[in-house]
Amino acid sequence: MPWWVGAAIGCAVAGALLPTVGYRLAVPYGEPPRRACSGCGAPLRPGVGGWFAGRCARGHRLGVPRWVTATLAGLAGALLAAALGAVAVLPLLLALAVLGVLLGVVDVACHRLPDPLVLPALAATPPLLGLVALATGQWDDWVRGLLACLAVGAAFTGLVLLPGGGFGFGDAKVGALLGWYLGWLGWDTVLLGVALPWVVNAPVLLVLLAVRRVRWRTALPFGPALLTGALLAVLATAG
């Protein structure tokens, strides 16, 4: 079995666990995670199991179908593994791909990229990439990742502060997180990762306008385009 198939299977299995987590976190800003089924009001199962149960006590599905998140995560894992090969940073990129699927699900549902998901990943990235650099001697890549994180985070923060820009601080934080990994791979990957989200979002907006699902001033979640653009940038510059 090709080794990248194992990466795809692992990511797909992890992706299958995401729907209820996304469902519980897809709440308005400032509210705690969802504790009851929005369909019937039944309390959700307490404890860790309640975050992964696919249905409530009355049988209502919690979140998107499992096959959706499993397919997205598995496809992202397969593409990354096949493009990059057996590089030391690959396990972290696969974990980021699974996290990206979860963030995308939440952002589509409620236009949020929750801090409880983004900030721990952002805080864990420097030491984790530091361990990779320690094992491989790739300290230049670590420094470039840090600089890219700061640059992309600052650029997106500037967009957030523009009036009517439609960006949120969640986008800036995710941009900074992605900047670490794009920067590790190279400045060309960073530049593509910053430019491609707009290319990804444009046809989506046009289709939604054509079917009259949105208007010109409707704010679209930018997280999925940001994450997809980063993946495409990695694939385009691999090797």
When pLDDT is averaged across residues 36-59 and rounded to a whole number, the result is 85
With 0-12 / 13-18 / 19 or more C-beta atoms within 10 angstroms meaning exposed / middle / buried, residue 128 is: middle
C-alpha closest to that of 205 among 192, 193, 194, 221: 221
Q: What is the pLDDT of residue 59?
A: 84
d(CA 180, CA 184) in angstroms, rounded, equals 6
- Model confidence at 203, in pLDDT bands (50, 70, 90)? low
Written in H, E and C, the secondary structure of 199-210 is: HHHHHHHHHHHH
Helix axes 115-136, 139-161, angle to 10 degrees: 160
pLDDT band at residue 210, thresholds of 50, 70 and 90? low
Q: Please state, in angstroms and rounded to a whole number, the distance separating the CA atoms of residues 97 and 231.
A: 8
Question: What pLDDT score was predicted for residue 147?
Answer: 97
User: Each residue of 84-129: pLDDT tens digit?
Assistant: 998 999 999 999 999 999 999 999 898 899 999 999 999 999 999 9
Residue 159: the pLDDT is 85
Q: Convert the pLDDT of each residue in 48-88 to its tens digit.
A: 888 888 888 888 898 899 999 999 999 999 999 999 998 99
Tokens 């057996």 -> residue: 86
Q: What local confidence, expressed as pLDDT, does residue 42 receive?
A: 84
Residues 207 and 163: their CA atoms lie apart, in Å, by: 26
Mean pLDDT over 137-161 rounds to 94
User: Is the model's pLDDT at 45 over the cut of 90?
Assistant: no
Flag whether pLDDT at 193 surpasses 80. Answer: yes
